[in-house]
Structure 1
Amino acid sequence: MRYASVTDRLAGLGGAKWALHYRARAMKAAGHEIIELTIGEPDVPTPARLIEAATRSMASGRTGYSNGRGEPGVVAALAARYSARRGREFARDQIMCLPGTQTVLYAVLRTMAEAGDEVLIGDPMYATYEGLIAQTGAVAVRVPLRPEHGFRMQPADVAARITSRSRVLFLNTPHNPTGAVLRPDDIRALGALAREHDLWILSDEVYEDLVFPNVPFTSPLDLPDLAERTVVASSISKSHAAPGFRSGWCVGPADFCTRLLPLSETMLFGSQPFIGDLTELAVSEHSPVAADMVDRFSRRAEIIARTLDGVGSLRVHRPEAGMFTLVDVRATGLSGSDFAESLLDRHKVAVMPGESFGSGLSGWLRLSLTQPDDRTVEAATRIAAHAASILGNAA
């Protein structure tokens, strides 16, 4: 039988990147005690107030069809939220609601790029980005994100890779997996390149509410001169500890949203009204869980740094936001994948190999910050012991 070419473009770009996580889950199900530092799932349940809102909504009959743009209440709430946060007016026709950030990014990129185009994307990158770009037929042009620059995208590196086929500058701030946050000057310089070369700016800002203390956050939406070319994607998955509800949105130019609407309707023809009602409540208020997550995640990042940084051959990159930290294990002589696989087998600690996030993290590990402090200490201690045993055997 014949298959669409998109299946070839996406081969190996889905769950294969999470193979170690799935193996760890299988070991856990088989009775092994695993310290899981793989995925970015919030460490608290979805707030009861949001669950109750969804329950009331379902009980009142809000279980019928919706529309492709989103329920009027949540669209209005998002327009108000972004107007307040960005200091300028956002209208309802600049909002589109879809099930989760992943679906948003899929649809937005489908609206921006096609075969023959190029999408400029930082490397390392979140594991699904490569597939999101490939599904459009466009080519991902990797822009190195370097440790010496705090993994922040450098305008000179972008400029060196722009061609006549460049269509989209894909940003992620705060960044997964590095926890880097672009500064105002970074955004201005990158925005100037986008204007000069007529590029779309797509900015995934799902970790906006999880920025650590004393770190400034800036969005391309803050700059009115970038308004005609900027689309921001986000959701309640991280900020409100509600990943299972799959509730996301994008904010951008009204004309862009008008063009995106038929694609959304063709894909989904609307999200669930009761989830829209839950999201309306969530985005109308400050998150009741985000501040405490920031406190815990920043504290655990410091725990890992104190335990591992400079111990033996290991180096730790401190994040500025989000729920992950990075450990450089290159001096052990192992790849991130080999280190992570043997760590799981010998010490029952599950971490993500850096290679799952691009060649820019070859020889690194990504550790989630979602385990309790004592388990985080224990995991870091086991990682240090594993590195010591590798270096001892090499000697």
Structure 2
Amino acid sequence: MYLTDRVKGIDTSPTLAITSKAQELSRKGVEIINLGAGEPDFNTPEHIKEAAIEAIKNNFTNYTTSSGIRELKEAICEKLKVENGVEYEIEEIIVSSGAKHSLYNTIQAICGSGDEVILPAPYWVSYPQQIKLAGGKTVVLETEEKNEFKLKAEDLAAQINDRTRALILNTPANPTGALYTEDELRSIAQVAVEKGIYIIADEIYENIYYDQKPVSISSFGPEIKELTILINGVSKCYSMTGWRIGYAAANKDLVAAMSRLQSHSTSNPNSIAQKASVVALTGEQKAVALMRNTFKERRDYIVERIKDINGLSSINPQGAFYLFVNATELIGSQIAGVKVNNDHQLVELLLTEAKVAVVPGSAFGFPGYLRLSYASSKEELTAALDSIAELLN
């Protein structure tokens, strides 16, 4: 069977691979605790579900404008103005089928053959694959745990050349939970303006923060706003992962190009989900605050528990719902009679022996680490950590 080099070059998602193995064991009757999940374990709030039901009853089930309905774009503009301190016009907003789709549109629009996109590691697994699909080159800048896995402005400046098109900046970050301060973002923004490169600002976890509220890099003035492609959506903070609504805010020429691309690929996002997303953004936000407080309690719990497990350590994540665990001490050691040569083998061992699914750090461009999601109940976290501790201690 013939397949293009473009498709053959795409790597399988490591997170999906782990999930598949966990599901296979579950089908065989093995009880697995999944700490690899990338979605909240909360239900979509009732008032949002009711808005979707109302949309169906009102027969709002046909095609919409391919770039999204005006009502949702207006809600996004108001949200960005009030919450992020930056003003956008309707023509500067595109709604897509999830934030991942918004990222795909963005990279396809600004990145071509041989163009370079700078990507701080650890990074979310889909970034390099999307750059590859656009024909671009991923330039990985490895960060340091002692700096909370955050990119330094001087390192960014040193890496930019005439082929550099953009920097992807995810804050709060998956998989580390790192959150950039305003001063750190201003330094990065200054470099971007001086060098004339885009900032793809992935802010999908912005409402899941703990000790300080995130700041949007696009809010620092007209120059950096013109260079920023702000990516967000409703999936994480409203527990709407399956509804598939994301959006991008950028200069109108770029949004127009992305809209043309979308019109010939997916066309409009789900009409019913768009109506529900209007209510998500404009309605009461109590569920968001409740979720954030619950995640903070879980974060505090899992961080303390990890300290007492042999060979594991971590920084304190400031956002999202992941713990990026340093397991480098365990690489090369014997565990349950097996020599662990890399983080993939360690993950396999945790799955088969401790019955806990996690994701290897190498999936995020950072070998020797593990990503644990605490988007699970306190009872599941306790059972998982007890099992891991029993195996490693």
TM tier relative to shorter chain: over 0.9
Q: Say which is worse superposed, 50-59 or 281-290, in terms of deviation.
A: 281-290
Structure 2 letter corresponding to 1:282: A
Q: Which residue of 2 aligns with 1:148?
A: 146
Mapped contact 2:13–2:125 kept (Cα < 8 A): no
Mapped contact 1:47–1:288 kept (Cα < 8 A): no
Residue deviations 1:252-306 (CA, integer Å, cap 9, x gap): 1122112221111111221222211111111113434222222222222222222
Mapped contact 1:18–1:356 kept (Cα < 8 A): no
In the alignment, the residues of structure 1 paired with residue 97 and residue 86 of structure 2 have an alpha-carbon distance, to the nearest angstrom, of 26
Q: Which residue of 2 aligns with 1:378?
A: 383
Alignment partner of 2:104 out of 106, 131, 135:
106
Mapped contact 2:115–2:164 kept (Cα < 8 A): yes
Structure 1 letter corresponding to 2:5: S
Mapped contact 1:144–1:157 kept (Cα < 8 A): no
1:339 Cα offset (Å): 1.2
Q: Which residue of 1 aligns with 2:212?
A: 215
Alignment partner of 1:367 out of 372, 375, 384:
372
- After TM superposition, the structure 1 = structure 2 runs for residues 42-121 of structure 1, keeping only pairs within 5 Å, are 42-121=40-119
Q: Say which is worse superposed, 17-26 or 175-184, in terms of deviation.
A: 17-26
Mapped contact 2:15–2:359 kept (Cα < 8 A): no
In the alignment, the residues of structure 2 paired with residue 92 and residue 283 of structure 1 have an alpha-carbon distance, to the nearest angstrom, of 16
Alignment partner of 1:241 out of 228, 239, 242:
239
In the alignment, the residues of structure 2 paired with residue 33 and residue 3 of structure 1 have an alpha-carbon distance, to the nearest angstrom, of 38
Q: Which residue of 2 aligns with 1:316?
A: 314
In the alignment, the residues of structure 2 paired with residue 226 and residue 29 of structure 1 have an alpha-carbon distance, to the nearest angstrom, of 51
In the alignment, the residues of structure 1 paired with residue 197 and residue 5 of structure 2 have an alpha-carbon distance, to the nearest angstrom, of 26
1:16 Cα offset (Å): 4.5
In the alignment, the residues of structure 2 paired with residue 288 and residue 242 of structure 1 have an alpha-carbon distance, to the nearest angstrom, of 15
In the alignment, the residues of structure 2 paired with residue 242 and residue 352 of structure 1 have an alpha-carbon distance, to the nearest angstrom, of 22
Mapped contact 1:318–1:326 kept (Cα < 8 A): no
Aligned alpha-carbon RMSD (Å) = 1.5
- Which secondary structure state, in structure 1, belongs to the residue aligned with residue 264 of structure 2? helix
Q: Which residue of 2 aligns with 1:269?
A: 267
In the alignment, the residues of structure 2 paired with residue 263 and residue 81 of structure 1 have an alpha-carbon distance, to the nearest angstrom, of 25
Mapped contact 1:240–1:288 kept (Cα < 8 A): no
Structure 1 letter corresponding to 2:346: F
Alignment partner of 2:296 out of 285, 298, 310:
298
Q: Which residue of 1 aligns with 2:124?
A: 126
- After TM superposition, the structure 1 = structure 2 runs for residues 318-337 of structure 1, keeping only pairs within 5 Å, are 318-333=316-331, 334=340, 335-337=342-344
Q: Say which is worse superposed, 43-52 or 240-249, in terms of deviation.
A: 43-52
Mapped contact 1:330–1:363 kept (Cα < 8 A): yes
- After TM superposition, the structure 1 = structure 2 runs for residues 380-395 of structure 1, keeping only pairs within 5 Å, are 380-388=385-393
Mapped contact 2:84–2:215 kept (Cα < 8 A): no
Structure 1 gap ranges (5+): 389-395
Q: Give percent identity, aligned residues only.
A: 26
Q: Which residue of 2 aligns with 1:340?
A: 347
Structure 2 letter corresponding to 1:85: E
- Which secondary structure state, in structure 2, belongs to the residue aligned with residue 168 of structure 1? strand
Structure 2 gap ranges (5+): 332-339
Q: Which residue of 1 aligns with 2:7?
A: 7
Structure 2 letter corresponding to 1:200: Y
Instruction: Determine whether 1:352 maps to 2:359.
Output: yes
Q: Which residue of 2 aligns with 1:166?
A: 164
- Which secondary structure state, in structure 2, belongs to the residue aligned with residue 289 of structure 1? helix
Mapped contact 2:181–2:214 kept (Cα < 8 A): yes
In the alignment, the residues of structure 1 paired with residue 326 and residue 260 of structure 2 have an alpha-carbon distance, to the nearest angstrom, of 45
Residue deviations 1:67-101 (CA, integer Å, cap 9, x gap): 12211110111111111123343211111000001
- After TM superposition, the structure 1 = structure 2 runs for residues 164-203 of structure 1, keeping only pairs within 5 Å, are 164-203=162-201
Q: Say which is worse superposed, 15-24 or 37-46, in terms of deviation.
A: 15-24
Residue correspondences, number? 383
Structure 2 letter corresponding to 1:347: A
Mapped contact 1:21–1:38 kept (Cα < 8 A): yes
1:357 Cα offset (Å): 0.9
Q: Which residue of 2 aligns with 1:393?
A: none
The alignment's TM-score, normalised by the length of structure 2, stands at 0.94
The alignment's TM-score, normalised by the length of structure 1, stands at 0.93
Mapped contact 2:86–2:218 kept (Cα < 8 A): no
Call closer, same or farther: CA 1:269–1:322 in 2, change over 3 Å.
same
Q: Which residue of 1 aligns with 2:336?
A: none
1:27 Cα offset (Å): 1.4
Q: Say which is worse superposed, 310-319 or 103-112, in terms of deviation.
A: 310-319
